Structure 1
Amino acid sequence: MALPPLVEPGPELTPERTARYARTTQLPGFGPVAQRRLRAARVLVVGAGGLGSAVLPLLASTGFGTIGIVDDDRVEPSNLPRQSIHTPSDVGRAKVESAAETVRALDDTIEVRLLAERLTSENAREILSGYDLVLDGSDNFPTRYLVDDAATLAGIPVVWGAVHQTGGQAGLSWAAQGPTYRDLFPVPPAPGSVASCAEAGALPSVCGVVGGLMVSQAILLVTGTGDPLLGRVVVHDGLRGTFRELAYERDPEAAPVTGLIDYDLFCGVTDTMSPAELHARLVAGEPHTLLDVREPWEADIVELPGSLLVPLGVIERDPEGVAARLPDGPLVIVCHHGIRAETARQLLDGAGVPGLVLAGGIEAWARDVDPTLPRY
């Protein structure tokens, strides 16, 4: 079902712009007016990682006039295969700066807005204000629910994408017109049950496929053409080269979104310690046991001083045995981003040894406490 155009047309195209977009405006049902709507559209992209790298160049080359990019991360060498908007020379740079450079190289007339900060319940409503739609390429569930709720309160649509290993999904959430992300996923998965991209991996080409689907949805919404994915999800299997579609509807019993909440708490990420808190404990010389549950090859790249390396697989095989051999003292569990640490925390807690997870893992420690540490 086609929806009304999301954006009013901007000014008439200049001759140069008319020539530039000639192969788009000649499409049936499109035309110069649709291109003018794209030029007037203001789109916020959440995340300049794998999906953001696919989305941002397409938005720029398609002719979107205003592009906001929000991401607080920096480029790492392991990003480069799937985050193609960044180059080896960008390692260490803020991702928003690297991404903006690519966008401006494609079209220096685009208004690019950079927000090198983490999206939170405190700033999300302000950040989303002034945009017509959001493309969410975030890689964690707290941020996905936060973006969806903030967009619901703002009355704007969210085109979302997700990639996991060799597959991905794309959909549209818009409370004003149909079901939302919360109707599809009313309850987040248990902490630690879904590995992050850094831990599970991602096929680079799948990021391109899902990102392309997301930009197509943005074009349909802005111009009022086609049949957007409202109440439908496209699921892509990169190993089989297939696509399938799942339909869903509004949940009539769902509670209305009236404000933004603590999304870490909502997603069950509760037993954590921030890098700043751990740093203060270490400086003060307070007793602790720092348990690193990554693999040995990861510890060879970077590790926190005084940590005890016990890979998660060892804990999964014998949580009681590991718990019995841990030194006394408050337990803080560390991994790359925090997912494996949360799984270990639950296993050890069940074995009688409670602990806390270093929020954001060693990656957050390198970002917030010691930027000199290598990142992977």
Structure 2
Amino acid sequence: MAAGELVETAAACDEADELRAKRAEFVLEPETVYLDGNSLGALPRSVAGRLADVVEREWGRGRIRSWGEAGWWTAPERIGDRIAPLVGAAPGRIVVGDSTSVNLFKAVVGAVRIAREEAPGRTEVLVDAATFPTDGYIAASAARMTGCAIRPVAAAAMAEEAGPATAAALVNHVDYRTGELHDLPAITRGLRAAGVRTVWDLCHSAGALPVELDAHGVDFAAGCTYKFLNGGPGAPAFLYVNEAVQGRFDSPLPGWNSHAEPFAMASDYTPAQGPVRGRVGTPDILSTLALEEALRVWEGVDIAAVRAKSLALTDFFLRCVAEYGPGEPRLRSLTPVAHERRGSQVALVCEPAEDARPALEALAERGVVGDFRHPGVLRFGFTPLYTSFRDAERAARALGEVIR
């Protein structure tokens, strides 16, 4: 297909896009194609004003009163309920706070402890073999703390590899490097049949595609909010605890914020009920309330429409790369073609690998912002709320020019 036809196709797709009005709610320069929202989402326009109000009025004039009057104290659960429909959870199952790493640590230890109550002989934790490195570090530390062995296993093989000694499994929903989407329903179902408690990392899926945590019986999940949820750099993460295990969740990080009566200042710890049990210390109010405001862009948005656009965008980008690019062996996609196995990014292997980083730098000079991972992988994240089909066409055309 000629370049002119691809431009026309992009324009037609943008015109038909039911989410196109959302782009105006973000701070984006028209000359820039931003395809790194899978690392840091764009800034929603209303966040700056909200933060100014929090600093000047709630903190500046309200001071300590704002913990109650401005709702600071209940923010972690309130914002968790805003995230809940985006990951298929009912209200009262998600709490916001801490980092993904900290929440995964709580979840893995909590999952092992529950499994051990049911079968004391369970002494193994499975971890996704291709996991983001920090997840592996956290899983190994949680295993040491609970007296378990750690065993890396490919996500697709988790269920068949699990056995009577397996206590918990930590799995990534989307592979951060390749963009491959793992089968959460089937893997969870298989692990549950083996008596294994599940912990899912949703960093690359929350806000990009339907997750349905409740429907599929996931025990625990955690994810960041600064990628597809656009919460800002270092925004607090979230922790999901299935209602069926909330009363049995024994967090390894009990803090005064998760106490049943936090202001009693009791020397003995009595855990609160519900998602509050996932809290630890005083929440970071500025970043937490920035996240709350950022989540307003999701009002009226159907996550199914987000998924449909994500697949259409990545399909179109791959089509444009094939048209504009030099083809194999210079560029080849690591991201699965099948929709049921694709997240919301496209990862391209550049050959030779040492050309990848200079290619990314040359793309940036042309106004296209992507991402790099060793060895020689170019990553392009597609955030359906603000990425257009014209963006996809421009990026692919610039990539072809750079590689050639």
Calculate the TM-score normalised by the size of structure 2. Answer: 0.33
More contact order relative to length (CA 8 Å, sep ≥ 6): 2
Calculate the TM-score normalised by the size of structure 1. Answer: 0.34
